[in-house]
Structure 1
Amino acid sequence: MRILIVGGGMGGTILANNLARRLKNELKTNKARLTLLSASEKHMYQPGLLYVALGRMSPDELYRDQASLLEPEIEFHVDPVEEFLLAKNQVKTKSGKTYDYDLIAIATGSRPVTEEIPGLAENSINVYTEEAALKFFKTISQFQGGRVVIAVGVPHKCPMVPPEVTFCLYDYFKDRGMLDKVQFHYTYPIGRLHSLEPVSKWMQGEFNQRGITTETLFNMKEVDGAKKVVRSEEGSETKYDLLVAVPAHKGMAVVEKNNLGKGGWIPVDRYRLTIDGYKNAFALGDTTNIPISKAGSTAHFEAEVLAENIASLVKIGSPVRDYDGKVFCFIEAGKDRATYAMFNYNNPPDPKPPTKSVHWFKMAYNQLYWASARGLL
């Protein structure tokens, strides 16, 4: 049984490691073969970009060699896929190789698309790449005061980034003694402050305490850098001195190029994670079109379910578990307080008042992540 995993992010890495342990005997006796294809030899801890942007973490802390995170039974190649030939059970890679498979799992992730809003890339800062995070810190460290606008596009990776970046910036300027010189204004595309209603209600209370103004039903249309104005599709505009973007995301370009899903999102069964029209092909993490949070924990929980099901397909010929939509997200509520949101398909989140203890648990997880990527947590 040839198992192919495409994508070396959190979802693909946890899936590969979990499968390697579940299928140890089958891999040892050559009854199964497990291959992971990645676009990079490095693995990045993406949530750490927020701390790089705030000057609280250095970029080199974000990376590990991908090979060092993998079980020895996994065949690992840095060779990004360029063609998905699902009807033929094949993929073709950048190197020109063809990989045949019996089962495939696609975990290629997502990407910010700041370029789709005219003027946004040139006139805003964000926390979604190493380069962007470094620019973010340089910009805020030189900022002398004025109107800070946090403008959010949807869908986006890491559902708690909008409140986190807002609260962390508030505390950053508070520590610099600048709150009397800085005004915060937050915009969101739908009729509340967050896509998850309980999180929105929690945010509203926190915003009120800090005097943060808001505008909902604000879908970014363009940014006029000369006038320092963001205009919305709804016809309104807001002035800024510092524009912080949470840009909309799409799935990876290779997914769109291969017509696997509109916007780069692959349609899957939300319980079994099978790609529509295929019994032997799966997708997980940001790659899917499931309307739940595109978060690391989503990929983690999906990978655990999928590993159990793929191992069961190899051993007994049928899957045994459903994914229930489980997501767990920390929410940094400033420099030293945090809360969390835990939910699934049937139970909405219920954020509690932020505490220092949850913040320190999040800080500990920044280090525990590497054990998590190995599927040990």
Structure 2
Amino acid sequence: MSTTTTAAVVESAGSGFALTQVTLDDLRPDEVRVRVTAAGICHTDLGVAGGHLPFPLPGVLGHEGAGVVEEVGSAVTKVAAGDQVLLSYTSCGRCPNCRDGHPAYCDTWLPSNLIGGERADGTSPISRDGVPLGGHFFGQSSFAHHAVVDERSVVKAPADAPLDLLAPLGCGVMTGAGAVWHVLAPRPGATLLVTGAGAVGLSAIMAAQLTPATRIIAADRVASRLALATELGATDTIDTTHEDLGEAIAKLTSDRGVDGVVETTGNADVLGVAISSLATRGTAVIVGAPAFGTQVPVNVNFMLSGRKVVGLTMGDAETQSLIPVLVDLVTAGRMPIDRLITHYEFGEIQQAVDDALAGVTIKPVLRLG
């Protein structure tokens, strides 16, 4: 039967988040109803709420959810009522990339996760006063006390797992870690550069510290974030408010360049410098998303020495494999993501969003109780 719950609805681009009553649809066979207890706020949520991506509004966002399963559809086998779960993106499970272990590059990824606002059959699992709202965001729309979630978005968590700590694993932390582990895969003695010391960049730094890379350079404009990056594993920092990024990299590497870059800022100029700072056979991973249509000049002759530029979605993570590993690393204290998190009550969502936009908070996490 349908469920009435409270959700944070974005009425129109730039209007912010307001709590209101909504109705959740009956479960389809491959869906799960989750009582959401925590949800991270990601810059993708903020971009959609600001109207920078064509998601249908009014709508319910949220894609770093965590909670407890209340009910499962008739075909669901991964979880049962009462299980604690973490939520991440969805995928079809049938296309070549899904079958090959790369569901982040699913044929249906964009409409099913980011811009569609509806299930594959054209219906939304969320409505208000009988009118469908944009929903199914990353297969979950978890800025609500309850969510109808695709089974493929659900990852079972241990019964005693601290969900208000682990919620960000489903996107931000997974993306930063996946950039390092799945794409760069640093060899012993490698030098890495992370541009942007936000949640994704700092997650990349923590992941890099668990590899044989011996030099990890963090670049940012905020001194306090660079200090935190040092505490989390960066061996060198570049304050781009006072230093030229390219010159600083050249000095730190004796003009050799870096073996790998994780670019998280979405700034085209920063990306251009990062690419030009690659060592022979180096790889730059683009995580930050500039505006559609943005172009970055690349010297073809420079690229001929085995240098690569790779775009990345969701850390190229197969969630059922990676998220449990991240849970183990976080709970063992080996990836101290608690250093990034500030908690807010659900009713404080707009304050959390404002603090994230102002750079006051690195990773806001909502507690929904």
| TM-score normalised over the length of structure 1 | 0.31
Greater RCO (Cα-Cα under 8 Å, separation 6 or more): 1
| TM-score normalised over the length of structure 2 | 0.31
Which structure has the larger Rg over C-alpha atoms? 1
